[in-house]
Amino acid sequence: MTSDNFPILKGMGAVLLRLQKGGTREPHWHPNAAELCLCLTGDVRMTVYSPGASHDTFTVGRGDITFVPSGYVYDVENIGTEEAKLIIVYNNDLPEDLGISGSIGSMSARVLDRFFGINPPGFFDQLNYRSSQDVIVGPRPAVYTGSGIESSVTNSHKFSLEKITPQIKNQAGTAVFGTSANFHILKGLAVFIVDLKPTGMIEPHTHPNAAELNYVINGKVRYTVFSPGGHTETGEVGEGEVFFVPQGYFHYLENPDNVNSGTVASFFGNENPNFIGIVGSLSAYSNEVLASVFSKDPKFFSSLPRIEKNVFLASETG
């Protein structure tokens, strides 16, 4: 999903990656974008090769997020027995992609043999790979020799959202924040996982420093976005669908279902997104200022609760 097929996108793009057992997203890198990945289902292994000739190999499961800076080389391998599904978000609406297969295919065997210290004709002549088109997702091997689920490895590139206590929890739902405050490697991206109970709502708000890309993990979400020029858009999205809110636009989300919960992953184009809610915004101004705006007697606003903080989550029951 880029600005080519979702034109409203600005500064953010996304990919939904599905890998069958043994499938591999080839080692690759993004020259113009960092990425933040959320594992929705399955168990995968990643290897990240970084500047300074170091590499990190670690396992990733449901609820884990990973971050790969722009230009770092990495792969994704399904080491589980079921399909793995991951949503990957970039801090560029037109992310570029270069893979190791096309890179090898673009170079002569003579050059590659030279740097590996191989006398020609050698390994790369026998490999005889001449395509400059990346494989992107490799097919499952004829005989899969994976050893199954590996033990979890602590690594600076990954962080488990499911293992931390929600920063917000009340009768309307829970919210878990993956920002640079707790996942220190993040730069240019962050994610909130919000579980909304029936009728749960996220406070009308803006993000002054970040655009927002929302992916519905399960259930339904209704949203309203107020844009410059007095334009208001209300819509409803379900599992696997997305909606985008440009930086600074006023919006809110709610679960329209009276019975079932709904979960949304809100990705942001900043590692520490600001949140300015309507409750604190209204509370900050005097009765006289509000009266002049809404054409009411200043005394009318004496009954408005003054709550100069973000409420974040609320429900129809209070």
Mean pLDDT for all residues in the chain:
92
Is 158 contained in some domain? no
Which is more confident, 149 or 23?
23
Is 5 contained in some domain? no
Is 301 contained in some domain? yes
pLDDT tens-digit readout, 4-15: 999 999 999 999
Is 135 contained in some domain? no
**Residue 144: pLDDT band with limits 50, 70, 90:** low
pLDDT of residue 190: 98
Q: Does the pLDDT value for residue 138 go beyond 90?
A: no
Q: Does the pLDDT value for residue 148 go beyond 80?
A: no
Regarding whether 287 and 191 lie in a shared domain, the answer is yes
Closest by CA to 275, choosing from 296, 245, 248, is 248
Regarding whether 168 and 46 lie in a shared domain, the answer is no
pLDDT tens-digit readout, 205-252: 999 999 999 999 999 999 999 999 999 999 999 999 999 999 999 999
Domain boundary among 78, 97, 116: 97
Over residues 71-90, the mean pLDDT reads 96
Closest by CA to 35, choosing from 215, 209, 190, 156, is 190
**Residue 278: pLDDT band with limits 50, 70, 90:** very high
Over residues 30-40, the mean pLDDT reads 97
Over residues 272-289, the mean pLDDT reads 96
pLDDT tens-digit readout, 282-307: 999 999 999 999 999 999 999 999 99
Regarding whether 306 and 185 lie in a shared domain, the answer is yes
Over residues 140-147, the mean pLDDT reads 58
Over residues 86-115, the mean pLDDT reads 94
| pTM for the model | 0.92
Regarding whether 277 and 200 lie in a shared domain, the answer is yes
Is 199 contained in some domain? yes
Q: Which neighbouring-strand residues pair with 45?
A: 59, 77
Over residues 92-115, the mean pLDDT reads 94
Regarding whether 293 and 176 lie in a shared domain, the answer is yes
Q: Does the pLDDT value for residue 141 go beyond 70?
A: no
Burial of 192 (0-12, 13-18, 19+ CB in 10 A): buried
Domain boundary among 57, 78, 97: 97
Regarding whether 266 and 190 lie in a shared domain, the answer is yes
Q: Which neighbouring-strand residues pair with 58?
A: 46
Q: Which neighbouring-strand residues pair with 265?
A: 193, 215
pLDDT of residue 315: 86
Regarding whether 307 and 227 lie in a shared domain, the answer is yes
Range of 32's domain?
A: 13-97
Is 254 contained in some domain? yes
Domain boundary among 71, 97, 123: 97
pLDDT of residue 86: 97
Regarding whether 168 and 29 lie in a shared domain, the answer is no
* Spatial separation of the C-alpha atoms in residues 280 and 32, rounded to whole Å: 37
* Spatial separation of the C-alpha atoms in residues 160 and 175, rounded to whole Å: 14
Q: Does the pLDDT value for residue 153 go beyond 70?
A: no
pLDDT of residue 175: 96
Regarding whether 209 and 83 lie in a shared domain, the answer is no
Instruction: Report how many domains make up the chain.
Output: 2
Is 128 contained in some domain? no
Burial of 284 (0-12, 13-18, 19+ CB in 10 A): exposed
Q: Tell me the one-letter amino acid at 106.
A: S
Helical H segments across 90-227, by residue range: 100-105, 109-115, 123-127
Q: Does the pLDDT value for residue 75 go beyond 50?
A: yes
pLDDT of residue 149: 45
CA distances from 165 to 67, 162, 183, 236 (A): 21, 8, 14, 29
Over residues 75-99, the mean pLDDT reads 96
**C-beta of residue 183 within 8 angstroms of C-beta of residue 67:** yes
Q: Does the pLDDT value for residue 259 go beyond 90?
A: yes
Over residues 32-60, the mean pLDDT reads 94
**Residue 120: pLDDT band with limits 50, 70, 90:** confident
pLDDT of residue 122: 84
Is 49 contained in some domain? yes
Question: What is the CATH number for 52?
Answer: 2.60.120.10
Regarding whether 223 and 93 lie in a shared domain, the answer is no
Question: Which residues 6+ apart lie within 8 Å of 125 measured at CB?
Answer: 109, 113
